[in-house]
Structures are given as C-alpha cells and as structure tokens.
Amino acid sequence: MKLCSFGVKTPLGLIERVGVYTEQGVVDATAARQAWLERRMPLAAAQRVGAAQVPSEMIALIGSGQLTLDWLQEALDALFAHGVSATSAGVRTIYQLSDIQLLAPVKRPPGIVNFSVWPAHSASAASLGIELAANTAQALVKPYWKGNPDAVVGPETTLYRPPYADVLDVECELVCIVGTGGRDLDHAAAQRAIVGYSIMNDVSARERQSAEMKFGRGPSKGKDFDNGYPLGPWIVTADELGDPKQLHMSLLVNGVEQSACDTKDMIWDFAEMLSYLSVGQTVQPGLVISGGCYPGGSAHEVGVHLKSGDRVEMRISKIGSLMNTIGP
C-alpha cells in the first residue's frame, strides 16, 4: 500500500486528506471507508465510524496500528469491486494525480532523526571538508542528529538557498516512518513499529556545515532552514516494500543519473536504528528516521554544482521518485 497526503483545491482553500496511491488513481482513504460502511449502517453513523476507523490525517492513521490498515484495505477492495465514486455526502472517493496536490506524506512529523549507515559516504565527505567519523556495524554507540520537522515539504517544492549560502546541495536518503511507536523496543518490536518507507532529500548549505562541524557539534544552520526536508511522494508500507536492504537508489540532475547505490551495504537496518533510539525514550507515531546519504548520493560529492532551475530527482526502487527544483 502506498499512503500519501494530498490537497484538493476548493473556493475555501486547500482541503488536506490522506490517500492511497493506486494505478486507478489516488483513493481518499477516509471516504473509501465511509462508502464501505454506508452499505452496512445508517449514513450518519457510517460517516462518524468511518472517520474514526480511518482518520483523514496521516499521523492519526498510522498511529492507529495494523487494524486501521486492514479496514482501509477492505474498503479499497470493495471500492474497486463496486466502483463507488463518492460517499452519500458527495465526498469523492478517487482522484487523478492531475486533480490534486501531493503533500509530504507526514506534513509535520514529531521529529526527524538522521543516522549515518554508509561508512563510504563519511569517508568521501571528509575528503571534501565535512568532518564526520565513519561508523561501524559493531559500534555500541549509534550517533545521530536531529533535523527540523518544521522544514518538511512535499514533492515538487522549489528549494531556495538561505541568505548565508552561496549554493545548495542535496542528498538522496531512504527513510522509515514510525507507525505505532513505543519505548525500549527490541529489534522485533521496532520492526513491527515501522509502518513503511519513503524518500527524503536532505538539503544542505555545505560551506556553513563544514565550518560548523569543525566545532564537533554536528550540523546546525548548515541543515536547518526553510524547505530543507522534501519528503515523499508517499509511504510504501513495510509489507509491500519487503526488505529495505534490497533496494536501488539513485540521484539524477536534469534527468541525467549522477550516482547510484544498492542498500545492501547499510551497516544497520532500520529496526536497529529505531530500537537504539527508543532506549529510555518514547518514540511517537510519524517520526522520520533516515539512514543518511548513500556514497555519492549528494551533488557535492560527485562534483555537480547545482544552479537555479536545475531539476533534482531522488529515485528508490519500489518507492518511486521525489522531484524538486532549485530556485533562484
């Protein structure tokens, strides 16, 4: 299942909903469940129960657990079997991509946590002046830094450099999205708590990042500015994606592939990262956990200097592509 957040333009502004991307179109998750229930209970009750069973906001939906996803799948199967185009209240059940605006699947996550699971990327970054010690698979300490959840934006967002940066850089990253969350999770419990996976573009101001990391406190303004975390286009649920260490990632600029990498070389899996993070800390639904940039996954790393108008694309197999444009 590919879960997404989308907006529908109306005279009163953009109405935001949760959907499921399918070959037939984007299904309004809540409306589909309400339409299914209308066949079995009074209409007013179907509206209330459907909104409770399958919420129209992403964090509420994924934080409700597997039963909610089962109810949603049941509604999807019925929708395509019977061709219901709207609820009794007139809410459409399915849209074409051209009719909606895709938003970040989790519009404002409770947090962003960025690990570094690619030792080769750390070595490459160090050669370019970004001081970052490489991790190992056996390390007892799994360092991470926290990003700004208010900087999350959706696909096709234009990326503007902050006033202290001459240029922008981008990083292609595979991320997991926490579903039910929890505290002190072992590996198995952490695996169950992950609802799915998405793509994140970790936008960076390299000159400032390089200067900051010489103080040994990690990036701050080098990675902390508006529109710094494009996320999307959707969340592919864990059951549909399969093993996240069997994926192919690539970075393209203006349609030309600049680098590629397989995820089999990640030194930790996402359940390990979530388990480590959850020690002594309650992890909330919707949290975004990144494995960091793959080796060669940033434009800076492969010698590409991005300029105004460049189209940047991150591709990950089984998920899709995340597109953004470098602004003036």
Which of 102, 128, 151 is the last residue before a domain boundary?
Answer: 102
The amino acid at 288: V
Structure tokens at 8: 């529908």
Host domain of residue 76: 2-102
**Token pair in block for residue 290:** 């990144």
CATH of the domain at 15: 2.30.30
Let me know whether 41 and 175 are in one domain. Answer: no
* pTM of the shown model: 0.94
* CATH number of the domain bearing residue 298: 3.90.850.10
Side chain identity, residue 1: M
* Among 47, 67, 102, residue at a domain's last position: 102
Do 149 and 56 share a structural domain? Answer: no
Number of other CB atoms surrounding residue 82 within 10 Å: 10
Q: What is the pLDDT of residues 261-300, one digit of tens each?
A: 999 999 999 999 999 999 999 999 999 999 999 999 999 9
The burial of 78, by beta-carbon neighbours within 10 Å (0-12 exposed, 13-18 middle, 19 or more buried), is given as middle
List, for residues 70-118, the tens digit of each pLDDT value: 999 999 999 999 999 999 999 999 999 999 999 999 999 999 999 999 9
Instruction: Let me know whether 286 and 210 are in one domain.
Output: yes
**Beta-strand relationship, 311-316 and 248-253:** antiparallel
pLDDT digits (tens, 9 = 90+) for 120-150: 755 565 555 566 666 776 777 888 999 999 9
For residue 140, the model assigns a pLDDT of 73
Over residues 17-21, mean pLDDT: 98
Length of the chain: 328
E strand or H helix that includes residue 172? strand 171-178
* Count of structural domains within the chain: 2
Name every residue whose Cβ is closer than 8 Å to that of residue 304 and which is 6 or more positions away in sequence: 253, 258
**Residues 65 and 126 reside in one and the same domain:** no
Q: Is 87 in the same domain as 179?
A: no
